[in-house]
Amino acid sequence: MIKVIAPAKINLFLDILGQLENGFHSLFMVMQSVDLCDEITVDKGNGGIALTCSDARLPQDGRNIAYKAAAAFFEATKIEPNAVITIEKKIPFEAGLAGGSADAAAVIVGLDCLYGTNLSVKAMCDIGLTVGSDVPFCIKGGTCIAQNRGEVLSEVKPLRDCFIVLAKPEKGVSTAAAFAAADNSYIYHPDSIRMLDACSNGDFDGICKYAGNVFEQVIEVVERVGIKEVMRNHGSVLYQMSGSGPTVFGIFNNIQDAETCADELKKEYKDVFVTRPVGHGAKVI
């Protein structure tokens, strides 16, 4: 049996540049893996793909993106499908944290190890992209610029150590609906050139200064203002929504501030976590 950890991601920067011919959007993002991880196991069974998930609200069949990832792995490698997959959910779903994509990434990395196929990261990312735009990043992980659909990845300097509080309001956001809302709105674009400079130089203050997420302009999450206020009051140096939301993250320089902020947010929100940046994606342990 192979055990894999699947880190969540946050978007330090997310801009929508336009629409691609395939209907997807062309993006410019800065992605960061954090140490809030789902735990996945993969093993051989009696043939076919079987999946169980600790959260009964998620589908446990072919509708689950992790199941689709297993099917895509077997199709690409021409191996007869045979996998028993378990998912221990820690990352909230419909949260803007790539929880589903992280599980899909973990399944591909886990099956590669289980079957000894020794695929390159690029080959695994190609399989991952067939099931979701964020899966390639969730395989690679760390700190990356992600372009096009999100699959064109360039490593930049790792974000220096810090404490990242995540707070997810109750109501999830559909990514498809978020993109549709963006299509129907005028968007002010954040400064990707300065952000890229800051990332390339490992300039933490610059990253905090030039961070941005255009989904904040088109997705209304009423709790966002209140969460940001709590984060600001506790000394957060950057507070912003992740992906298409609704999760808001706050970056802190010391753990005491992060923990007192999280304690305050926990009075109102169920899903609150204190995390740290990590330099890897889905990883066999």
- Binding residues for ligand C5P, rule: CB under 6 A, are 24-25, 27, 132-134, 149-150, 175-176, 179
Looking at residue 207, the DSSP 8-state letter turns out to be H
* Residue 134 known to be catalytic: yes
Q: How far is CA 279 from the centre of its chain?
A: 13
Q: Which of 134, 168, 257, 283 is catalytic?
A: 134
Question: Amino acid identity of 87?
Answer: I
Looking at residue 277, the DSSP 8-state letter turns out to be B
Q: Please give the backbone phi and psi of residue 37, each rounded to the nearest 5 degrees, phi first.
A: -125, 140
Q: Which of 9, 68, 89, 140 is catalytic?
A: 9
CB nearer to ligand C5P: give 175 or 236: 175
Q: How far is the CB of 192 from ligand C5P (least distance, A)?
A: 15
* Nearest by Cα to 40 from 51, 30, 29: 51
* Residue 168 known to be catalytic: no
Q: How far is the CB of 180 from ligand C5P (least distance, A)?
A: 8
What is the C-alpha to C-alpha distance for residues 107 and 11, in angstroms, rounded to an integer?
Answer: 23
CB nearer to ligand C5P: give 149 or 157: 149
What is the C-alpha to C-alpha distance for residues 66 and 117, in angstroms, rounded to an integer?
Answer: 19
CB nearer to ligand C5P: give 87 or 265: 87
CB count, 10 Å around CB of 18? 7
Q: How far is the CB of 55 from ligand C5P (least distance, A)?
A: 19
CB nearer to ligand C5P: give 102 or 237: 102
Q: How far is the CB of 129 from ligand C5P (least distance, A)?
A: 8
CB 166 within 8 A of CB 271: yes
CB nearer to ligand C5P: give 50 or 129: 129
Q: How far is the CB of 65 from ligand C5P (least distance, A)?
A: 8
The CA-atom distances, in angstroms, between 212 and each of 183, 209, 249 are 18, 9, 12
What is the C-alpha to C-alpha distance for residues 131 and 219, in angstroms, rounded to an integer?
Answer: 24
What is the C-alpha to C-alpha distance for residues 261 and 249, in angstroms, rounded to an integer?
Answer: 11
Q: Which residues are catalytic?
A: 9, 134
